[in-house]
Amino acid sequence: MIDKNQFRGHEQLAYFHDKESGLKAFIAVHDTSLGPAAGGCRVWPYESEMDALNDVLRLSRGMSYKNAMAGLPLGGGKAVIIGNSKTDKSDELLKALGRCINSLEGRYIAAEDVGMCTEDVMIVASETKFVAGLPQGDHASGDPSPFTAKGIYNGIKAAVKYKLGKDSLEGLTIAVQGVGHVGQYLCEYLHNDGVKLLVSDIVQENLDIAVQKYGATIVATDKILSVKADVLSPCALGAVLNDETIDHLNVSIIAGGANNQLAQDYHGVRLMDKGILFAPDYVINAGGIINVSGETTGNYDVSWVNKKVDNIYNTLIHIFERADKEERPTNVVADEMAEEILAKAKAANKAKTAA
């Protein structure tokens, strides 16, 4: 396991099994140089525990980079629960998760992710104080989805400005893969800007809402990655950009909210070679964790959160410029920038300890 490519310098990996509730979960703490590891908890019916392990390792590392690039005083961590969010999730299971998180004594702070909502987090919070994204209580920040969507919207505008030279999104065609909580908010932003929306999702209700509210056109899930559009915005699960799909892409820009969109790091090279501008996912989708960070300070300020989310535009422009100058993929450049921030934090922490 330690030899696996995904296991890159993680500080801690914990496996939890609570027989009574049926909980099977991994929690990975990647890096705490900047502060306690923070990241959402995902519920997903993984085919195997090894698949869940791979996911939590990739996601937690992405959170370290995401928090670093967003300028947050947080490290990177993630939790995944092996199960179906519709049938396996129960109050007992969520409470067991809370006890597992509590046993890490603050090294990991949980929040919402796929398969978890604010109400679920409230149940987790009955067993531990190391949670954020709460819908009520002192300094509660609520559902982070609107802030995630706003960050993606800002990122799309940055990519369109850089690649297409346009200050407006009006008249562009944007394909959104996945129109759940984040995708719906994103569609609203894009619709208000006069975008022609193409959407796909495995849940018909989500598609119906996108059609009724935003005039979207439905595309089959197996066709959305090959449709002709100006921008592809993956907002479902990761690894959608791989050896098979990249050959069929018909867009100029990829800018979406899903985590780990590249199946492998080298797929960033493939996109660059095709002339497709890729907005690194952990940079463009940082709005949610920025909002959560505002809550963890104990002094939630929505104006501070919005300012940070708006700055995603500038961060991406900087990445695009550096990638072009160095003739390297945007994902590689973003990784190096994040690692530079983490290295400085580690050096500072070491100096403090020595003093």
Q: What CATH number is given to the structural domain containing 37?
A: 3.40.50.10860
pLDDT at 2: 55
Same domain, 179 and 93: no
204: domain CATH number is 3.40.50.720
Domains in the chain, number: 2
Domain end call among 124, 154, 180: 124
Binned at pLDDT 50, 70 and 90, residue 45 comes out as very high
- For 34-48, 127-141, 199-213, 257-271, which range has the lowest pLDDT when averaged over its residues? 127-141
Mean pLDDT of 307-323: 98
3-state secondary structure of 146: helix
Residue 54 lies inside a defined structural domain of this protein = yes
Pick the catalytic residue: 78, 95, 157, 308? 78
Q: What is the mean pLDDT of the chain?
A: 94
Residue 132 CA to residue 294 CA, distance in Å, equals 9
Residue 271 CA to residue 276 CA, distance in Å, equals 5
Residue 353 lies inside a defined structural domain of this protein = no
Residue 354 lies inside a defined structural domain of this protein = no
pLDDT at 5: 60
Using CA atoms of 315, 318, 322, 323 in order, give the dihedral in degrees to the nearest 10. Answer: 60
Binned at pLDDT 50, 70 and 90, residue 300 comes out as confident
Same domain, 281 and 323: yes
Residue 185 sits at the vertex; the CA angle it makes with 141 and 126, to the nearest 5 degrees, is 30
Whole-number percent of the chain with pLDDT over 70: 96
Residue 216 lies inside a defined structural domain of this protein = yes
pLDDT at 133: 81
Look at residues 1, 6, 133 and name the one whose alpha carbon lies nearest to residue 60. 6
Look at residues 292, 164, 143, 302 and name the one whose alpha carbon lies nearest to residue 231. 164
pLDDT at 136: 67
- For tokens 């990829």, the residue is 254
Same domain, 328 and 253: yes
Same domain, 203 and 120: no
Same domain, 177 and 325: yes
Same domain, 184 and 330: yes
Mean pLDDT of 265-294: 96
pLDDT at 261: 96
pLDDT at 117: 87
Same domain, 190 and 110: no
Q: What is the pTM of this model?
A: 0.91
pLDDT at 342: 96
Same domain, 179 and 248: yes
pLDDT at residue 3 is higher than 60:
no
Same domain, 152 and 109: no
Binned at pLDDT 50, 70 and 90, residue 314 comes out as very high
Mean pLDDT of 106-120: 91
Whole-number percent of the chain with pLDDT over 90: 83
Look at residues 127, 134, 129, 81 and name the one whose alpha carbon lies nearest to residue 111. 134
> Has 78 been annotated as catalytic?
yes
pLDDT at residue 1 is higher than 60:
no
Same domain, 197 and 330: yes
pLDDT at residue 155 is higher than 90:
yes
Q: What b-and-e string marks burial along 176-209, b requiring 16 or more CB atoms within 10 Å of the CB?
A: bbbbbbbbbbbbbbbbebebbbbbbbeeeebbeb
pLDDT at 138: 60
Give me the domain span that covers residue 22: 12-60+79-124
Residue 152 lies inside a defined structural domain of this protein = yes
Residue 3 lies inside a defined structural domain of this protein = no
Mean pLDDT of 156-162: 98
Residue 295 lies inside a defined structural domain of this protein = no
pLDDT at residue 30 is higher than 70:
yes
Mean pLDDT of 191-202: 98
Mean pLDDT of 51-64: 92
Binned at pLDDT 50, 70 and 90, residue 333 comes out as very high
pLDDT at 310: 97
Same domain, 281 and 319: yes
pLDDT at 137: 65
Residue 83 lies inside a defined structural domain of this protein = yes
pLDDT at 354: 84
pLDDT at 7: 66
Mean pLDDT of 100-121: 93
- Asked if 194 and 169 count as a contact pair (C-beta separation under 8 A), the reply is yes
Same domain, 203 and 320: yes
